[in-house]
Amino acid sequence: MFICTIFNHQIQNTTTVKKAFLFLSISLLLASCSSEIKNDLFTLNLKDSVKSTTSKTYTTIEKFGKLEPDHLMTMVSSSFLLSGNISTDIYLSYKWKSHEVSFGWKNTYNYDENNLLSDYNLYNENGKLISKSISKHDNKGNEIEYNDYNPDGSLLAGAKNKYDSKGRLTENTLSDKDGNITYSTKTTYNSLNQEIKKTTVRHSTETSSSYTDTSTYQYNKNGDNSGSQSTNDYSNHNTYTYDENGNWTTRISTDNRSKKTITIRTIEYYQE
């Protein structure tokens, strides 16, 4: 399972475990998924031999006519293997106007001899195991199913994926331990294999009701997400600055609710 599936998996799995993790709605992943994908760096539109990334997102304040970072909101750190696949990622959310962590998590990923994700472990901010996920793949290397387990080994949730003829993830369905569908998503792509539309349906097993949201995405010439709009009346626009390798290091996001954030990303590269 490459990053496109990994983060979709995280969004839904962590929602089952702790709804606060819906922050991953994602801006973390608006990348492409195709049969040409060789590793997670490609999927995340990261160029060259990236070893790690650390992204810190801040509220903003204007000083002397210039927008500057103010209060630290979140930190996301990812480490990559030489193969280009992710090995660990860490998310921390901070208390308002404080550097104290309010909550967070860490994922560690394991791969088989074919560089396909075999399983990963999810830990909370105190290092306690929350869940373990085990993946199944078809003969094309597509992750077609994964199951999430509690620390005691009991089933927590399960999911199934469908792909198109180009190997792009088009449908994902998440079910609870009893087999009741809780989330389902459908994704469409453009000719560049970039995700341009995602429809998510959240199902309530308690009320037998559902909620549907559709988001559309746009990209700049560098292949990074330049904006999105959803049917829940939310939209945003992103602008970037880049390093010499063509990877963004600063992102300014502005939404239709007059909220602006700055994300500063530090990138470490493997040395040749």
3-state secondary structure 118-177: EEEEEEECCCCEEEEEEEEECCCCCEEEEEEECCCCCEEEEEEEEECCCCCEEEEEEEEC
50-63 and 260-269 strand pairing: antiparallel
Q: In the chain, where do the E strands start and end?
A: 50-63, 66-80, 86-94, 101-111, 117-124, 129-137, 143-149, 155-163, 169-176, 181-189, 195-203, 210-219, 225-230, 234-242, 248-255, 260-269
The per-residue pLDDT for 5 is 39
What secondary structure letter does DSSP report for 258?
S
CA angle (72, 77, 78) in 5-degree steps:
160
Residue 180, pLDDT score? 93
Q: Report yes or no: 107 and 121 within 8 Å, Cβ to Cβ.
A: yes
pLDDT one-digit tens code per residue, 224-267:
999 999 998 899 999 999 999 999 999 999 999 878 999 999 99
Position 18 scores a pLDDT of 37
* CB-based contact 141:114 (threshold 8 Å): yes
Bridge partners of 143?
137
Please tell me whether residue 40 adopts helix, strand or coil conformation. helix
Which residue shows structure tokens 């453009």?
A: 190
Is the pTM above the cut of 0.75? yes
| 66-80/86-94 β-pairing | antiparallel
CB-neighbour burial class of residue 2 (10 A; exposed 0-12, middle 13-18, buried 19+): buried
Place of tokens 């399972």: 1
Structure confidence at residue 7 (pLDDT): 41
Residue type, 107: N
Q: How far is CA 63 from CA 16, 60, 67, 177, 231, in A?
A: 41, 10, 6, 52, 34
CB 263 within 8 Å of CB 236:
no
DSSP run (H or E) holding 41:
helix 40-43
pLDDT < 70 positions in the chain = 1-38
pLDDT at 258: 76
How confident is the model at residue 20, as a pLDDT? 34
pLDDT confidence of residue 245: 96
- How much is the pLDDT for 38? 66
Q: Are 12 and 207 in contact (CB under 8 A)?
A: no
